[in-house]
Amino acid sequence: MRKLKKLFSAMKLNHKITVLIIGTIVIPMVILSVLLFKNMRESIIKEKVKNVEISINQSYNHIQKNVELCHMSTQVILNSEGFWDKLIEFQDSEVIDKSEIIKFSKNDVRNIERLVNSNPYLYQIRIYIATKKVPEMMPVLYHMDRLDNFDWYKEDDTRKIFWNFDYDGTIFPYYVLKPSKHIVSLTTRVKGTKKKVDALIEVATKMDVLFPDIYEADEEQWTCFVDEYGTYFYGEGDSNQKWVEFAEGVFKTIPKNTKESYYYNMYLDEEPVVVGYIPLDQFNGHLLKIVSLKNAFQDINERRNVFLFGFTGGVAILICAANFLVQLVLRDFYRVIHTVTKVKEGDLSIRVPVDSSNEIGQLSGQINDMMDTITCLMEDQLKRELLVKDSEIRALQNQINAHFIYNVLESIKMMAEIEERYDISDAVTSLGKLLRYSMKWVSKNVTVREEVDYIKNYLALINLRFDYEIYLSINMPEIIWSQEIPKMSLQPIIENAIYHGIEEIAEDTSIYMKGILFEDYCTIEITDSGKGMTEEEVRILQQKISGEIETSGSSGNGIGLKNVQDRIKISFGEPYGISVASRKGLFTKVIVKIPLILT
């Protein structure tokens, strides 16, 4: 069983499905066919047993009718008073008148002969008398010494009524009269004072009339009669020895001296047979019928073999058809496997052909989407790595002279404070912080608070350039201050607001920075009161930010906002980034969406 499970587990999917389909169809059909042929055997056995029972009962009734006929014929003769009176008269007379003999022959003897001729079941009625004063009158009246020609006759036999089976029926030599074989007779002794004559009455019929079935044997059925002495009586045939051996085997299974009939099937010398047995009390014997089921079973076996041959061929065709159809159904599935194998080998450009909308088609589409996502993620990762490498190079370049610049700025600050030029000292302090923040390399993100502090230093320096003041107004929930954001991601938005929105109006203004909390993310809105943009300008700028329109490296083409967008998406994923809203002559608002991480 384990080997079968292991073998089944190692099979291909199409072979497994084919095996399951064939098993689902073949196993019930095999069970049904086994039950069908078993039922056919049982039906044939029941039919044969029933036929044997009917045949045995018909034979029994036929025998009973003939037995009664023999008894009635015997009784008719015994009741023929005129016949017996004449015999007594002839026996007691010294001289018998020939005319009386002729008259007796024409009347009384002829009546008995007519009785035989009028009944086709009777073969002969013969009366044997002890006296020889009465001449023999064929074919009815004979002298007692004629009985010496019969093997069954015993002078000292005291039986009054008895049956004799299967003997030669002639009382004359063969050269005088051709013998009649296979005779059965009811023999009755006449002795006593009433009849005053010793005689023996033989009412005979033929064996094939009394037992017609025993002479109708063939290769499939055989019938025999067994008398009280165990003698078997049956017809002629080459296979009698086999049937006799079968009969002896049957009698071993039947209780002795039973008065019951038996009808059943059994095996004799490995041959299936049906047996019918009925006792014949009037003979103290039995009637046995054996029917062979060999040919019937051979016919069933031939049908079974033809069925198995056709069934095997059908199963083979079914296996081929099922395997072909399963492969056809699983064609898309194997395409998926082929694609996954190619991806495993490193080919990320391959895609699964999608030809259907079923489950495999849906899986193929999802795999294609997954491959597109993987490709995008790999491209994003490559971009991120390029940005990181570029930033590392720039940071390395900046760090070369970082200490020198810090020392120079500190010297300028000290000179300004000595000269009591505190405004210059503050400006130099802001510039130093700004340079320190920008030139300090940070591989990870920074907090919103650090980014806003940088913006404050940046605006302090910007306000030195203009004759007007730019104010920074902040409304930020406390939790947002600790959220992470890519370094230098808010400053480019402030710079973009100054140079493209505020610088042209050249008056005091403010930039409003507001944080808004949502369920799993937050936004930072940066709004300026600059010149604003039209809807068309906003649409074009949004396309540049999303990468739908190529941007050049020159100022004013949205490259700064696009870089911010790319860095946010690389850091946090596709759902995050920036969006722009503006009204011409009123304001411009940039919305930065970042994930909300609760600690």
Orientation of helix 110-117 relative to helix 13-78, angle to 10°: 170
Predicted confidence at residue 175, as pLDDT, reads: 43
Residues 144 and 244 in one domain: no
Token pair 């999802």 is found at: 366
The answer to whether residue 438 sits within a structural domain is: no
Residues 240 and 340 in one domain: no
Residues 113 and 229 in one domain: no
Residues 131 and 221 in one domain: no
| Structure tokens belonging to residue 403 | 């200490």
Predicted confidence at residue 440, as pLDDT, reads: 61
Annotate 346-389 with DSSP letters as a single string: T--S-------SSHHHHHHHHHHHHHHHHHHHHHHHHHHHHHHH
Range of the domain at 222: 212-296
Relative to beta strand 470-475, strand 509-517 is parallel
Which helix (H) or strand (E) covers residue 517, if one does?
strand 509-517
Q: Is 22 helix (H, G, I), strand (E, B) or coil?
A: helix
Residues 224 and 161 in one domain: no
Q: Are 250 and 277 in contact (CB under 8 A)?
A: yes
Last residue of a domain, one of 382, 412, 444: 382
Residues 527 and 588 in one domain: yes
Predicted confidence at residue 400, as pLDDT, reads: 45
The answer to whether residue 238 sits within a structural domain is: yes
Relative to beta strand 141-143, strand 124-129 is parallel
CA distances from 341 to 216, 337, 365 (A): 80, 6, 17
CA 293 to chain centre: 35
Residues 445 and 441: their CA atoms lie apart, in Å, by 11
The answer to whether residue 513 sits within a structural domain is: yes
Residues 156 and 235 in one domain: no
Specify whether the backbone of 270 is left (phi greater than 0), alpha (psi in -120 to 50) or beta.
Answer: left
| Structure tokens belonging to residue 77 | 């003769």
Residues 453 and 472: their CA atoms lie apart, in Å, by 11
Residues 91 and 125 in one domain: yes
Residues 191 and 217 in one domain: no
Annotate 520-531 with DSSP letters as a single string: SEEEEEEEE-S-
The answer to whether residue 445 sits within a structural domain is: no
Question: Burial of 51 by CB count in 10 Å (0-12 exposed, 13-18 middle, 19+ buried)?
Answer: middle
Q: Are 361 and 355 in contact (CB under 8 A)?
A: yes
Residues 96 and 191 in one domain: yes
Predicted confidence at residue 393, as pLDDT, reads: 55
Q: What is the CATH number of the domain that holds 260?
A: 3.30.450
In the chain (599 residues long), the average pLDDT of successive 10-residue segments reads: 71 75 84 88 91 92 94 92 88 84 90 90 92 89 88 84 88 55 90 73 92 85 89 80 85 83 87 92 91 89 89 86 79 78 80 76 81 83 73 53 59 71 73 66 77 89 84 94 91 90 87 94 94 92 86 59 89 92 93 89
The answer to whether residue 434 sits within a structural domain is: no
The answer to whether residue 567 sits within a structural domain is: yes
The arrangement of strands across the sheet holding 161-167 comes to 141-143, 124-129, 199-206, 183-190, 161-167
Predicted confidence at residue 392, as pLDDT, reads: 58
The answer to whether residue 311 sits within a structural domain is: no
As for how many domains the chain has, the answer is 4
Residues 471 and 562 in one domain: yes
The answer to whether residue 197 sits within a structural domain is: yes
pLDDT of 345-402, one tens digit each?
A: 878 778 878 777 777 778 777 888 888 888 888 887 787 777 766 665 555 455 545 5
Residues 163 and 85 in one domain: yes
450: which residues sit within 8 A by CB, 6+ positions away? Answer: 437
Residues 596 and 354: their CA atoms lie apart, in Å, by 39
